[in-house]
């Protein structure tokens, strides 16, 4: 399953300057694992010691927050887009 991951500006330096990366995986967890394989530095930026997402990291599959889906176990389709964004809200 090939998925496009959109990298936020704050993480691009750790991703070789890329704004998007094409990685493999059938779930969000697998997609992130493959991303971390390619860019090791991203792991500690996005995940905590237990492997969970840091609390100020939001992940969206096709625009939907994965916390409304199945979290890291959320399945992804071939060609879907996974967006990583910092949590910032209020207005």
Partner 1 sequence: MAVSHLECRECKAQYPLEALYVCEQCFGPLEVAYDREDGHRDLGELRRRIQGGPQNIWRYADFLPLAGGPPGPSGRLASRVGLPAGCTPLIRADRLAKRLGLREVWVKNDAANPTHSFKDRVVSVAVTRARELGFETIACDSTGILANSVAAHGAALGLESFVFIPADLEEQKVLATGIYGATVVGVEGNYDDVNRLCTELCAERDWAFVNINLRPYYAEGSKTLAFEIAEQLGWELPDRCVVPVASGSLFTKIAKGFDEWRALGLLEGELPRMNGAQAEGCSPVASAFAEGHDVCRPVKPSTIAKSLAIGNPADGPYALDLARRTGGSVDAVSDEEIRAGIALLAETTGVFTETAGGVTTAVLAKLAERGDIDPDERVVLVITGEGLKTLDAVRGTFETHTIAPTVEAFQDGVPQTVAV
Binding of partner 1 by 68 (CB under 8 A): yes
Binding of partner 1 by 83 (CB under 8 A): yes
Rounded CA gap, 2 and 50, in Å?
26
CA distance readout (Å), 67 to 31, 38, 39, 54: 16, 25, 24, 13
Interface with partner 1 (CB under 8 A), residue from 49, 50, 78, 90:
90
Nearer to partner 1, 1 or 69 (CB): 69
86 touching partner 1, by CB under 8 A? yes
Task: Please report, for residues 15, 47, 60, 73, 75, the alpha-carbon distance to residue 41 in angstroms, rounded to integers and kept in the order given.
Answer: 8, 11, 21, 22, 24
Which of 63, 43, 61 shows the shortest CA–CA distance to 53?
43
Considering only 6, 36, 69, 75, the residue that binds partner 1 (CB under 8 A) is 6
Residue 17 in the binding site for partner 1 (CB under 8 A): no
Per CB under 8 A, residues contacting partner 1 are 6, 8-11, 13-14, 45-46, 54-58, 60, 63, 65, 67-68, 83, 85-91
């Amino acid at each position: 399953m090939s998925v496009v991951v959109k990298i936020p500006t704050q993480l691009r330096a750790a991703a070789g300057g890329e704004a998007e990366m094409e990685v493999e995986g059938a779930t969000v967890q697998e997609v992130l694992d493959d991303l971390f394989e390619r860019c090791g530095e991203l792991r500690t930026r996005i995940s905590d010691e237990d492997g969970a997402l840091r609390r100020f990291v939001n992940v969206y599959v096709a625009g939907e927050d994965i916390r409304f889906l199945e979290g890291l176990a959320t399945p992804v389709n071939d060609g879907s887009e996974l967006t990583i964004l910092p949590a910032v809200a209020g207005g």
